[in-house]
Structures are given as structure tokens and as C-alpha cells.
Amino acid sequence: MTRPGLSRRALIAGAGAAVVVGWNTTTRAWADQPGQAVEQLPALDGTMTLQGTGLEHFSSDFGHIVTQSPRAVLRPASVRDIQQTVAFARRHRIPVAVNGQSGDAAVVGQAGLESHSSYGQANPRGGIAIDARGFNRVLALRPGEAVVEAGATWAQLTDAALAQGWAPPCLTDYLHLSIGGTLSVGGIGGAVQRHGLQTDTVRELDVVTGTGELVTASRERNRDLFEAVLAGGGQVGIIVRATLALEPVRERSTVFTLAYDDLDTYLADQQKVLADGRFDLQVGNVVRSADGQRWRYTAELVAHHDTGHPVDREALLAGLRPVAGETTVTEESWREYAFRVDGFAGYLRAAGFWDLPKPWLSLFLPASKTATFMREAAEVLSAADLGAGLLLFYPYARARVNTPLAVLPDEAVGWHFDLLAFPAPGADIPAMLQRNRRLYERAVALGGKRYLIGAIPDMTTGDWQHHYAQLWDRVQRAKRQYDPAGILTPGQNIHAS
Ligand SMILES: Cc1cc2nc3c(=O)[nH]c(=O)nc-3n(C[C@H](O)[C@H](O)[C@H](O)COP(=O)(O)OP(=O)(O)OC[C@H]3O[C@@H](n4cnc5c(N)ncnc54)[C@H](O)[C@@H]3O)c2cc1C
């Protein structure tokens, strides 16, 4: 084998480090000398970082619990780069995972971009991390439809679409997440009660499978792959491009915030609103009451409308039973509401919480068992478990979700339980992880399911089999078919390596 030519932009070695010439198939390590067993890296349009600080940046994620340095970081400049790298990795059984590298670059700079996974889901476990910044453009906006590269964020797409009077129908609470990242897990937000998950708004995908092949997939074409990719945890392919639905945007958002001290009243009111669909968005959360003595439930209900056409506030609140005198109603622009979490994220960063370990727990509960689970969880959780964070807690209608691999409890109505913990410095993270495990097991015993995000330790093959239930065979078959070497996205821990 010969040394790669200078036009090959494959190598960025750390200062003073030996230049890597290829992969030594015997020692299974980068080689700095050509030799019989050394295979050249593929020629790239982008760059492959093999040593130095560039790797450290990809060793952890938002959760700051799982840390392992990748062996290389690909910053692709073309889809071909991703294909070549995956094909190379397949030949040599090197794991590969995309790292969303998202965030609000205007606030945190390029160095502050990260994977927003909590438990190493994007970590290639000593393999090759693919930097999603290498494919992050909004490619086209048409009436009712956008075409994006998967590394673009929902914030980018929202602003680009807004400029033309359109918006994605389902947004996550925080918009600075990569589109490929949320489509790989599901993507839930307050519009789930109307439009389902973000994965339900996808019309077409371009996917590089685990063999390096580029395949276009949709409901009409290569449906099997389409359905294996959406909410598939990156197990069968790398999403490089997506065509997504857009809807006409309204100008204003009127936000109703209702407080509840009583769990049953909260559950009943949220489900009433879910059933009659009177609001455009419906979320809610649980925090400690101001006196620290009990849990307080807050419903956040939103109606969109145009300027000069205010909503009938009284009619929208009719029949609901929050704590009297504590309901607030505010009106803001559609964009202000969509980007509402930016301010809170800024506070968490300034106060030093953002960069600490965060053992998030994200579950879906069947409505019939939600009160039972929540009462038990309320006993287990303390203010210290939330830290500066909160517990999202709101219902969804099962029928709105049409993504086969977005596994949800088998009831018409379910509840999203999402412990967004920002613990204080010095918190006992191992104990919190064990608490997550216990809450997960209790949820499962009640018919609940986990979301692919979050930090649940010790997931076994048996856990995953139970999770996917009748879909398990299909999940395994798709893995064998589209990722025969089993190299894609090991950090999800779904398939035993
Ligand atoms: C502050 C904050 C708010 C959040 N709010 C919400 C919310 O409202 N709703 C919600 O549903 N989630 C929410 N999340 C969770 C979010 O969906 C996950 O963190 C998700 O992992 C997306 O993050 P990411 O874009 O950084 O992707 P990553 O975390 O880097 O990737 C997620 C997974 O998908 C894989 N992957 C990434 N890109 C691709 C691709 N192009 N092709 C194939 N596989 C890929 C990765 O390897 C990894 O396994 C939030 C997270 C944070 C930190």
C-alpha cells in the first residue's frame, strides 16, 4: 500500500504526531508506516481527524455520563464521503455513529456544539464519529415541503421556513437539535396530539446503509428501509437528507398556563383537552411547589392565530379546574413561543448546570396506569433529583403516531414522562442512574415503554426484546439486512455486539 496523496484531505494529525497512512488490519489500529496489512483510508472530499483534540470533542455528549474517545472523526463534505467511510468501516468492522453536533452556534460557538444524547447513544465506542456539521444545509423550500440535509437543526429549518410563511408541524421543545438526530429517535413536542411525532412528518429520506449504499426511501419506495430508519436509533443507516412536511404558519401564539396541586384533576383536565382538541399545542410539567412541600402540575396550552383575530379565552378555558386565580394567559409571536426554551437554556448555561452530568429519564405510560406510576414516582423523586430542571408530563393520542418503530404503550391515550434533570454539582449520579433503572422497570411492569433518549443503565437484550415485542424480529432482520457487519450506532446498545 502506498501513502495517500496530498490531495487526499483525509488526515489531520495532532501536533508532533506521526502521520497516519492507513488502517492496520492485523493490529486493528491506525498505522504510520505502509505495509502489507495496511489499507489506505478512502479518498475524501472532507476531512478525517485521527488524533488530537478533535477527537476529545466527540468523546462525550450532553449527558456527560458516558465518555469514550472515538478512533476518528469524519467531517464529510459529500455524501460520497459517508458512503466511502461506511464501506471502509464495514470491511474492517469499525463502529460508526453520527454525532448530531447541534446547539445554538450563535450562543455557544462551534466548540459548544454537541450531541444531545444523555447516555452515549451517539458514541461510536472507539470507532468513527461522523460530524453532522458536514451535512447541515436547508436545501430547498417549496409550498408545504422542505428538503434538508440531516445535520441541519430544527431551528435552522424553522427560521428558513418562517421567512416564507411556513413551519414544521411538529417541533421539539428545544429547536437546536439536529433533524437526523430527532428523526432517529422520534421527536416529540406539544403538537404530538395533532400531528404525531416528527418522524410522522417525513416524506422521503436519503439513507446510507451499513453497506455504504445510498438508498432513497419513502412510504412508496423502499418502505421497509424507511420504516426501519425512522425512530430506529441509527441502527440500519445514516440519514443524509430528508424531505419534510411544512404547514402554513400562524402569526401569534396565545399561551395558557394552568396550575394544579391535585394530580387527578391535572390528569383529567389534560385528557379532556386532548380529547376535544381545543388547543394547537399541549404540554405540561411537574416542579416542586414554591414552599418545597409538594409537587405542582402545570398545563401549558397554546392556541395559534393571526394578528387581529384573538382567540376566545373564556371558551378555551371552559370546564377546566385549575387552582383558582393562578391561570396566566399571554400572547406572543409564533416564533417567540417556538424558541421559548432558548432563554431557559441560557440560564442553565450561565448558572453552570448545562455542562454537568444529567441522568435524564424519558418514558411513555399507558393512561390507565399513569396516576399509579406518577404517585409512586412522586414518592421517589425529590427536589434534588430535578435540580434546576423539570419533569415534562403530558398526554398524547396513540392514533396520531404512525411511525412503526416509535414504540408506545398499547392504549389509545398515553403520557409522556420526561425527567429533564439538571442536578447540582456533586449530585450522586450513579444513584440517580439506579433510580432511573427502577423507575423504568416499574413503568415496564405497568405497560410503559422507554424513549430511545435518556439514561437507563444495564439494558439487556431481553429488555429490548420486551420493548419491541412483536416488532423484535423485524428490528433484528432489518439490522442483518442493512447493517450486516453490525457497525452502525453501537451506543444505542440495542443489538449485542
Ligand atoms: C435541551 C434538550 C431538549 C430536548 N428536547 C426534546 C424534545 O422536546 N423532544 C424530543 O423528542 N427530544 C428532545 N431532546 C432529545 C433529543 O431528541 C435527543 O437528544 C436526540 O438525541 C437529538 O439530539 P442530537 O440532534 O444532538 O442527536 P444525537 O444525540 O447526536 O443523535 C441521536 C442518535 O441518533 C443517531 N443519529 C444522529 N444523526 C443521525 C443521522 N443523520 N442518521 C442516523 N443516525 C443518526 C446518533 O448516533 C444517536 O444514536 C432534547 C434534548 C436536549 C438536550
Report which of 110, 104, 206, 203 is spatially closest to residue 156, judged by C-alpha positions: 104
> What was the pLDDT predicted at 150?
98
Share of residues in the chain with pLDDT > 70 (%): 96
| CATH architecture of the domain with range 22-133 | 2-Layer Sandwich (3.30)
Quick check: CB of 122 below 6 Å from ligand 1? yes
Nearest-atom index, ligand 1, CA of 229:
43
Quick check: CB of 233 below 6 Å from ligand 1? yes
Nearest-atom index, ligand 1, CA of 103:
26
- The protein residue with its alpha carbon nearest to ligand 1, atom 38, reads 181
- The protein residue with its alpha carbon nearest to ligand 1, atom 12, reads 187
**For residue 11, is pLDDT > 80?**
no
Quick check: CB of 101 below 6 Å from ligand 1? no
**Alpha-carbon Rg for the chain in angstroms:** 23
Say if CB 31 and CB 325 are below 8 A apart: no
Gap from CA of 255 to ligand 1 centroid (Å) = 26
**For residue 283, is pLDDT > 90?**
yes
Gap from CA of 427 to ligand 1 centroid (Å) = 24
| Domain ranges for the chain | 22-133, 134-248, 252-459
For the segment 206-221, the average pLDDT, to the nearest whole number, is 98
> What was the pLDDT predicted at 453?
97
**How much helix, strand and coil, in percent to the nearest 5, is found in the chain?**
30, 25, 45
Quick check: CB of 76 below 6 Å from ligand 1? no
Quick check: CB of 117 below 6 Å from ligand 1? yes
Quick check: CB of 190 below 6 Å from ligand 1? no
For the segment 117-143, the average pLDDT, to the nearest whole number, is 97
The confidence band for 496, taking pLDDT boundaries of 50, 70 and 90, is: confident
Quick check: CB of 342 below 6 Å from ligand 1? no
| Backbone dihedral angles phi then psi of residue 465, each to the nearest 5 degrees | -60, -45
DSSP state of 180: H
Quick check: CB of 60 below 6 Å from ligand 1? no
The confidence band for 21, taking pLDDT boundaries of 50, 70 and 90, is: confident
**For residue 2, is pLDDT > 90?**
no
For the segment 328-337, the average pLDDT, to the nearest whole number, is 98
Nearest-atom index, ligand 1, CA of 187:
11
Pocket mutation for ligand 1, best pick of 64, 117, 201, 408 (most atoms within 8 Å of C-beta): 117
For the segment 138-160, the average pLDDT, to the nearest whole number, is 98
Quick check: CB of 120 below 6 Å from ligand 1? no
pLDDT digits (tens, 9 = 90+) for 187-207: 999 999 999 999 999 999 999
> What was the pLDDT predicted at 8?
43
Nearest-atom index, ligand 1, CA of 177:
25
Q: What does pLDDT average to over the chain?
A: 95
Pick the CATH number of 252-459 from 3.90.10.10, 3.30.365.10, 3.40.462.10, 3.30.565.10: 3.40.462.10
The confidence band for 32, taking pLDDT boundaries of 50, 70 and 90, is: confident
pLDDT digits (tens, 9 = 90+) for 34-51: 888 999 999 999 999 998
**For residue 166, is pLDDT > 80?**
yes
Quick check: CB of 10 below 6 Å from ligand 1? no
378 vs 84: CA distance, rounded Å: 50
The confidence band for 18, taking pLDDT boundaries of 50, 70 and 90, is: low
C-alpha cell at 33: 508506516
> What was the pLDDT predicted at 9?
46
**For residue 1, is pLDDT > 70?**
no
C-alpha cell at 251: 402569526
Gap from CA of 178 to ligand 1 centroid (Å) = 7
- Beta strand 281-288 with 295-305: parallel, antiparallel or unpaired? antiparallel
Gap from CA of 357 to ligand 1 centroid (Å) = 17
> What was the pLDDT predicted at 52?
80
> What was the pLDDT predicted at 449?
98
Nearest-atom index, ligand 1, CA of 100:
30
Gap from CA of 235 to ligand 1 centroid (Å) = 14
Nearest-atom index, ligand 1, CA of 153:
25
**For residue 415, is pLDDT > 90?**
yes
For the segment 266-294, the average pLDDT, to the nearest whole number, is 95
> What was the pLDDT predicted at 130?
98
Pocket mutation for ligand 1, best pick of 116, 363, 451, 494 (most atoms within 8 Å of C-beta): 116
For the segment 89-118, the average pLDDT, to the nearest whole number, is 96
Quick check: CB of 47 below 6 Å from ligand 1? no
The confidence band for 7, taking pLDDT boundaries of 50, 70 and 90, is: very low
CATH class of 134-248: alpha beta
- The protein residue with its alpha carbon nearest to ligand 1, atom 34, reads 181
156 vs 103: CA distance, rounded Å: 11
Quick check: CB of 150 below 6 Å from ligand 1? yes
Lowest mean pLDDT segment, chosen from 17-26, 200-209, 461-470: 17-26
CA 161, 162, 164, 169 torsion: positive or negative?
positive
Query: Which of the pair, 411 or 292, is modelled with greater confidence?
Result: 411
> What was the pLDDT predicted at 326?
96
**For residue 360, is pLDDT > 60?**
yes
**For residue 13, is pLDDT > 70?**
no
**For residue 3, is pLDDT > 90?**
no
Say if CB 130 and CB 98 are below 8 A apart: yes
The confidence band for 16, taking pLDDT boundaries of 50, 70 and 90, is: very low
Quick check: CB of 187 below 6 Å from ligand 1? yes
C-alpha cell at 238: 445514516
**For residue 445, is pLDDT > 50?**
yes
Say if CB 158 and CB 338 are below 8 A apart: yes
> What was the pLDDT predicted at 17?
53
Nearest-atom index, ligand 1, CA of 240:
41
Say if CB 190 and CB 302 are below 8 A apart: yes
The confidence band for 288, taking pLDDT boundaries of 50, 70 and 90, is: confident
Gap from CA of 177 to ligand 1 centroid (Å) = 6
**For residue 15, is pLDDT > 50?**
no
* End-to-end Cα distance, the chain: 30
